[in-house]
Structure 1
Amino acid sequence: MNVLDTDVLVVGAGPVGLTLAMDLAARGVQVVIAEIRRYAEPPNVKCNHVAARTMERFRRLGVAEKLRDAGLPADYPNDVVFRTSVTGTELTRIPIPCRADRYTSREGPDTWWPTPEPPHRINQLFLEPILLEHTAALQGVTLLNRTQLTLFAQREGGVEATALDLDTGAERRIRCRYMVGCDGGSSTVRKAIGAKLEGTPVIQRVQSTYIRAPQLRAMIPGKPAWSYYSVNPRRCGTVFAIDGHETWLVHNHLNPDEPDFDTIDRDWAIRQILGVGPDFQYEVLSKEDWVGRRLVADRFRDRNVFIAGDAAHLWVPYAGYGMNAGIADALNLSWLLAARLQGWGDEAILDAYEAERQPITMQVSNFAMDHAAKMIKARRAVPANIEAQDAAGAQARREVGEEAYALNVQQFCCAGLNFGYFYQGSPIIAGDGETPPAYTMGDFTESTVPGCRAPHFWLADGRSLYDAFGAGYTLLRFDVRADVAPLQSAARERGMPLTIVDVAGVEPPAAYRHALLLCRDDQHVAWRGDALPAHASGLVAMLCGAGRS
């Protein structure tokens, strides 16, 4: 039997698995990816949004620009519009800049993002091939397509897996130090480690259809949009522009009393959502029906095996935080695995992954579930006269539009979910007694409380703060008189990567109230103070997962 040795085996080459492999390879870690699909086989038409936090990391990995150049046409508005049907009367509009104006526009609720990389609307059809091509070309990455994990066993110091070549039937043994299941909602890895999804198995069912309709764009009045919400008494649904020309994804949100996907005639529902008659022609490219859930695994790890993304959590993807939460898992886990494999991280540093990510995914899943409940309620309360061409109808449209804007601007301009979440109870974060500020889906307060994301600002030389971050830890020094030599010495002794960034010639955000701020590789604050602790070696030991010495 063919034997392959590697540092990390990643099971699944979707956006989460590819991002994990990409980030690990950037740290010099050897990675094998096992994927059941053929190389470049098109993915499902699922995810439509790359969050700002994800784009920040893609910037550091050198792939952000490639992604910005893909997706909808450069001048195609990314607006979200609510109409009585896609071709009907507009109720309200949430303005979002096209990608050509993404860095420069200052108008509307989606342009104030405190980041070097605002979000990007792009369907997975365009996103995944770029990530795949980039990752497959990286040194240290071995991609095994048409390869299915069949079993694995944990041995002392690692994992031994058996994988099947789906084309030849040949078996291969893969020996690795760590394995990560990024293999989706029906994850083989999750089931094998005995982790269980807990929560609400069904929140809503969505009859989803990917169509080609070249005539549709010309039939839609006014300025185009990336997302159209159809609001009428017959059928409520959502339509996403995929290529900006002729392909569309139509979501028909089934009502609670519609128990399965065949309850409602698909063609009838599509026509009611689009607002077109029986003579309108379209082609069904694929059926993408899905169930909205709120499920989080009871654990994310068994010794040397981890799970991430949909393998660890499933929820209604409001605010675009299905795929992006999975990528956040991958980026949290990647630097921890690298720390351990490079020898400066203690084995216990890996405990931080579950301690940090599981509570956050619970929070995000509850945000999504709460929003889903409000949306379901709104769909059931559409006024019967919303399409009436009289004063009462106009009033109904105004009221529904105002309510739709207030409810949905937070999910499409979700600064809170991007920048507000924080890690508490982590073994590698030194809390100082101050409580991190609360956040909502749409709002947050910038903070340097340990566990929070270090607020972004531009350095005097024009670089993004995050561009100056090194691997491992970065110490921001706002007072050059502060003595950091003991920390440097302790880090050097342990082998812990430490970058010193002296901040001068620029006024940082008001949240920076301390002379020294120690940031992790993933931009979260690990420690802060006006002077180093008396025993810098103790702080370094904690940062490396060894507890305070």
Structure 2
Amino acid sequence: MTTTFSAPVLIVGAGPVGLCLALDLAGRGINSIIAERYPAGANDTVRCNHVSSRTMETFRRLGFADEVRAVGLPDDYPNDVVVRTRATGRELTRIPIPCRRDRFTVTDVPDGWWPTPEPPHRVNQLFFEPILFERAQANPHIKILNDLDVQHVTQDGEEVDAQATDLKTGQQVRLSGQFLIGCDGGASNIRRQIEAKLEGDAVIQQVQSTYFRAPELLKSIPTDRAWMSYLYIGERAGNLVAINGRETWLLHNYLLPGEPDFASVDRDKCLRALLGVDESFEYEVLRQEDWTGRRLVADRFRQDRVFICGDSAHIWVPYAGYGMNTGIADAMNLSWLLAAHLNGWGTESILDAYEAERWPITDQVSRFAMNHAQKAISERINIPLEIDDDGPEGEALRAKIGKDSYELHVQQFACAGLNYGYFYPASPLIAYDGGAAPSYTINEYTPSTVPGCRTPHLWLPGGQSLYDQLGPEYTLLRFDRDIDVAPLVQAASAANVPLAVLDVNVTELPEPYLHKLLLNRPDNHVAWRGDALPDRPEELIDLIRGAASPEQQKAHQSMAATAK
């Protein structure tokens, strides 16, 4: 006997990406089913230790940013990043990052200024993923099916069918929907089902990682507490992450050239060397989290009604949680497009924007992560053995390595460019005007209203965040109340496109805004800008809902080419 479940959207994978996708769809009135092969609450991975600012914005919009920010390290535990000769050794440099208590008040540090109401949060996945799961489980628009292994997917012009097995009972289960999204991780079966191929660099580095409990370690560290510690002991390098701020830790041991695999390396010996402790030191291994750093991006993110998001679509070196955070950005891009179509105001063509927008950005961000990883690898394999020597030569060496390390690593921990600098240069839904988007780096971001860029954040009179005042779908920002926007509102209404108008009460245009009107997309990217409405507002509405004619598409792509 086969049990059948149906919903407009089927999601395979109940990790942070799949859960955020379902929650955002639910907020837009779309029902979904999440199929997860593991039991509820079984995920005890400590892979991701950083929720980016952009992801915290997503959590704020979904209504639980404060709940996520309340978990993790103790309130007063510094989120600093340090470089030490060993965990219990000398400190070479420190990148100050505010603790949770001071997150919104300390701004005179590299990570203290963020153009958003939601700066990053250093917290392990162990603590925040259950919040997402509980929210999804309680949402009437979402059905979670744990212990369900999705094995085969078929589709036609109307729907997607997934054949699955209940791993507890062995019973066959059929899932039926209009669309299916694979959020099932790096070994994604859904990626294989649509015959998407991973391309790039298969091995950048190998890391033997150990999640362990050591109640005595914190008191053995001679300098102030830190969230993350790079450990350079000369013959080997590692990275120590504080998990609960008391007794649990994650240690990354970077394998050396010539070390062929994880099993061939003495885990205990390396752990003790990196911590700087002897055989009397007691600890308990909780989990082995060994991983291989890669830079792989699928050659496509979609086959008709089946899409892939997150690690299903891209795998790279897990610095600063780039993989999970970029995956959630994928999901937020796809969610509003799916909802627009399923709610009847977006054409089927609106879905073409997902791959057109996300693939180039994903490829670019993966290269940022890889380039940073290669610089970090080069740094740590060239550490002289004399790094821990006493005397002036040792001190001079530590000072130089500390300075170089600070300049390298501060980029990934104050990465405003990676969060906000990227833009969509070739989208079928954006009205380009010839403006050139600013360049950006991993840590450098220049706010801009060029179509395709992130809508720059503003603090409104009264201290409110602009983002909190935006509508759930399209919002027209008007900086001059004398401009009659009724024709655009009427054109949107005629096409059933949800459009809110937000009057921003300012005496002059705030930087970096250059125009009196700006059309903000549901994902907070700029769709259009101008000082007056276009002569044919219905054509702009057709463009943003995926209904533009080929001629209109060609004209806008021509402007996009000018902007590159």
- The alignment's TM-score, normalised by the length of structure 1, stands at 0.99
- Structure 2 counterpart of 1:533: 534
- Structure 2 counterpart of 1:487: 488
Contact persistence 2:509–2:516 (CA under 8 A): no
Aligned residue for 2:140, secondary structure, equals: coil
Post-superposition CA distance 1:200-236 (Å, at most 9, x none)? 0000000000000000000001210000110121220
Contact persistence 2:236–2:256 (CA under 8 A): no
Contact persistence 1:319–1:414 (CA under 8 A): no
In 1, the alpha carbon distance for the partners of 2:120 and 2:334 equals: 22
Aligned residue for 1:453, secondary structure, equals: coil
In 2, the alpha carbon distance for the partners of 1:152 and 1:58 equals: 31
Moved over 6 A (4+): none
In 2, the alpha carbon distance for the partners of 1:151 and 1:526 equals: 38
Within 5 Å, give how 1:13-28 maps onto structure 2: 13-28=14-29
- Structure 1 counterpart of 2:464: 463
Within 5 Å, give how 1:148-163 maps onto structure 2: 148-163=149-164
- Structure 2 counterpart of 1:283: 284
Match for 2:481: what amino acid?
Answer: V
User: Structure 1 residues 255-264 or 71-80, which shifts more?
Assistant: 255-264
Aligned residue for 1:330, secondary structure, equals: helix
1:462 offset after TM fit, Å?
2.8
- Structure 1 counterpart of 2:556: none
- Structure 2 counterpart of 1:237: 238
1:146 aligns with 2:177: no
Aligned residue for 1:121, secondary structure, equals: coil
Aligned residue for 2:296, secondary structure, equals: strand
Post-superposition CA distance 1:376-417 (Å, at most 9, x none)? 110111122110011000000000000000000000110100
Contact persistence 1:16–1:327 (CA under 8 A): yes
In 1, the alpha carbon distance for the partners of 2:293 and 2:47 equals: 13
1:157 offset after TM fit, Å?
1.3
Aligned residue for 2:387, secondary structure, equals: coil
Match for 1:39: what amino acid?
Answer: A
1:319 offset after TM fit, Å?
3.2
1:127 offset after TM fit, Å?
1.2
Contact persistence 1:460–1:506 (CA under 8 A): no
Contact persistence 2:477–2:502 (CA under 8 A): yes
- Structure 2 counterpart of 1:546: 547
1:168 offset after TM fit, Å?
0.4
Contact persistence 1:204–1:256 (CA under 8 A): no
In 1, the alpha carbon distance for the partners of 2:525 and 2:44 equals: 32
In 2, the alpha carbon distance for the partners of 1:187 and 1:31 equals: 19
1:393 aligns with 2:394: yes
In 2, the alpha carbon distance for the partners of 1:69 and 1:298 equals: 39
In 2, the alpha carbon distance for the partners of 1:256 and 1:185 equals: 25
Contact persistence 1:475–1:518 (CA under 8 A): yes
Within 5 Å, give how 1:118-517 maps onto structure 2: 118-505=119-506, 509-517=510-518
Post-superposition CA distance 1:237-282 (Å, at most 9, x none)? 0010000000000000112322211232111111111111111111
Contact persistence 1:319–1:368 (CA under 8 A): no
The runs of 5 or more residues in structure 1 that have no matched partner are none
Aligned residue for 2:209, secondary structure, equals: strand
Match for 2:458: what amino acid?
Answer: F
Post-superposition CA distance 1:480-522 (Å, at most 9, x none)? 1112111100100011010101011476641100010001011
Match for 1:396: what amino acid?
Answer: L
Within 5 Å, give how 1:99-114 maps onto structure 2: 99-114=100-115
In 2, the alpha carbon distance for the partners of 1:276 and 1:66 equals: 37
In 2, the alpha carbon distance for the partners of 1:254 and 1:318 equals: 16
Post-superposition CA distance 1:282-340 (Å, at most 9, x none)? 11111110000000000000000000000000000223211100000000000000000
Contact persistence 1:430–1:450 (CA under 8 A): yes
In 1, the alpha carbon distance for the partners of 2:5 and 2:249 equals: 42
1:468 offset after TM fit, Å?
1.0
Contact persistence 1:233–1:383 (CA under 8 A): yes
In 2, the alpha carbon distance for the partners of 1:232 and 1:445 equals: 38
1:23 offset after TM fit, Å?
0.5
Change (3 A) 1:36 1:279: same
Contact persistence 1:457–1:508 (CA under 8 A): no
Aligned residue for 1:53, secondary structure, equals: helix
Match for 2:51: what amino acid?
Answer: V
Give identity over the alignment, percent.
57
1:156 offset after TM fit, Å?
2.2
Post-superposition CA distance 1:48-92 (Å, at most 9, x none)? 000000000110101101101101111111000100001100000
Aligned residue for 1:39, secondary structure, equals: coil
The runs of 5 or more residues in structure 2 that have no matched partner are 553-564
Contact persistence 1:308–1:330 (CA under 8 A): yes
1:180 offset after TM fit, Å?
0.2
Aligned residue for 2:264, secondary structure, equals: coil
- Structure 1 counterpart of 2:68: 67
Match for 2:304: what amino acid?
Answer: R
In 1, the alpha carbon distance for the partners of 2:540 and 2:530 equals: 12
Aligned residue for 1:139, secondary structure, equals: coil
Change (3 A) 1:451 1:211: same
- Structure 1 counterpart of 2:562: none
Match for 2:401: what amino acid?
Answer: V
In 1, the alpha carbon distance for the partners of 2:316 and 2:4 equals: 38
Contact persistence 1:159–1:175 (CA under 8 A): yes
How many residues of Structure 1 are paired with residues of Structure 2 in the alignment? Answer: 549
Aligned residue for 1:262, secondary structure, equals: helix
Post-superposition CA distance 1:116-139 (Å, at most 9, x none)? 000001101111111100111012
Q: CA RMSD in A?
A: 1.0
Contact persistence 2:235–2:385 (CA under 8 A): no
In 2, the alpha carbon distance for the partners of 1:64 and 1:468 equals: 16
- Structure 1 counterpart of 2:557: none
1:100 offset after TM fit, Å?
1.1
In 1, the alpha carbon distance for the partners of 2:385 and 2:308 equals: 47
User: Structure 1 residues 8-17 or 475-484, which shifts more?
Assistant: 475-484
Match for 2:74: what amino acid?
Answer: P
1:21 offset after TM fit, Å?
0.6
- Structure 1 counterpart of 2:561: none
Aligned residue for 1:295, secondary structure, equals: strand
1:471 offset after TM fit, Å?
2.0
Change (3 A) 1:270 1:508: farther
- Structure 2 counterpart of 1:78: 79
User: Structure 1 residues 117-126 or 253-262, which shifts more?
Assistant: 253-262
Aligned residue for 2:262, secondary structure, equals: coil
